[in-house]
Amino acid sequence: MLVRFEYENFKSFKDNTEFSMECVKGGELKEINTVSVGNKELVKSAIIFGPNASGKSNFFKALYAMKNMIKLSVLSMGAINSIEPYIFCTDNCNKIIKFEIEILIKDITYIYGFKVLDGIIKEEWLKKNKQREVNLFYRKSSDYKDIELYGEFKSEEKIKQRVATTSLMLTVSAMLNNPIAMEIINWFDKIEFIGLGSESLDLQKSIMCIEEDLELKSEILKHLSNADFGIEDFNCDIETVDEKQIQSDEFGINKSINKDVMIGIERKSVSLTTSHNVYDNDKNIVSTIDLPFMEYQSNGTKKLFAIIGTMLKTLKNGGVVAIDEIDSKLHPTLVRMLIRLFNSIDKNPSNAQLICSSHDVLLLDEKIRRDQIWFVDKDEYAVSELYALTDFLGVRKDSKLLKRYLLGVFNAVPFKKGGI
């Protein structure tokens, strides 16, 4: 599970920024909206509010950039060059970009991070904490010779020699089957992003979830039917166009690579249709008709389909779903239904987590804890700031959050100092 995510000097976030899923205070909705794992008590979902162009999407892009870097740092695909600093200050263009994450795997906490400057890894570290915090490795420069190994990594001297200045020690270790590195990489594999790319890509993800687990189809159909009563069934025809291509590494060690760590490129042709009943004048069902999904379905139904497959897969298997603008094109009741799936005991047996942004401020009056609410605001220098509702004093569990937010008490609203 995700405990904490920290980053600095990334896109519109100039300063060090910390996001946390740890419970802060308050006993409200504890049995439903929180979970205890090891020595941590975490919330199952978090919602980020803020005006347009405040930096909400950049928060998700920061988390995605960290995952992308971890998955692709050994490939010659320029993953490290796609990490962009805050560009509206001359000093920051030459300032280190930092990412750090704290995660729970079983009952062990891992803290992993790295720093980047000018397309080079400048620092990297991995720690674990079960009963006490210990170092696993620490890299104090871009040179592999400056990687210090401890504990379970003490015997990995041969691995560190394969770490390039643009590669992460964690990625190389996972490729060469270090158990802890593989566990962490597998954890990152379970972070799913929705809303950062095109809707067609999100639809494809949902369809791939069905291909991997056919049992999900009935659950997806149930949710689609609740949103559009005319849908009786749907069908996905998936064909592979090109064979899966996995790029070889740069170190000539293909025989010992754990292929599961690598990113494959697979082109698939997908035909998606929905089945609808056809009635006679007496409203009797006389036949069914299959219609092309993209041509005949509403934007809201398309958005729901793009979300629901990935969400149900994560609810079943565990992991994190990160959704930018969960309320876009969806009716408010559907948004609440999706969030409640995570804030649930029976629907969320694997303690999956949801992080989403929304403009639906009425969610502030829903059954949600104070430590599940976050805000993003941007100042006149185009600097984004992420902060929690719990940062404000005097906010009680019975406070009228919606009214106070609309009055600008928590900032993160479009119009300030007199309005329009």
As annotated, the residues of the chain forming the CATH 3.40.50 domain(s) are 2-192+322-406
Print burial letters for 137-150: b (CB count within 10 Å at least 16), e (below 16). bbbeebebeebebe
Contacts of 304 (CB under 8 A, 6+ apart): 223, 224, 227, 330, 334
Confidence of residue 252 (pLDDT cuts 50, 70, 90): very low
Do 101 and 112 touch, CB atoms closer than 8 A?
yes
Closest CA to 29 of 339, 318, 362: 339
Name which CATH class applies to 2-192+322-406. alpha beta
CA distance linking residue 335 with residue 321, whole number of Å = 14
For residue range 120-163, list pLDDT tens digits in order.
999 999 999 988 999 999 999 999 999 999 999 998 899 999 99
User: Can you give the pTM of this predicted structure?
Assistant: 0.88
Give Dmax (Cα) for the chain.
81
Give residue-wise pLDDT tens across range 320-369: 999 999 999 999 999 999 999 999 999 999 999 999 999 988 888 888 88
The pLDDT value recorded for residue 263 is 38
pLDDT in tens, 271-306: 789 899 999 999 999 999 999 988 888 888 889 999
Angle value at C-alpha 417, between 411 and 420, nearest 5 degrees = 100
Strand arrangement of the beta sheet that strand 320-323 belongs to: 191-194, 320-323, 353-357, 45-49, 373-378, 384-388
Q: Which residue has the tokens 């400057």?
A: 117
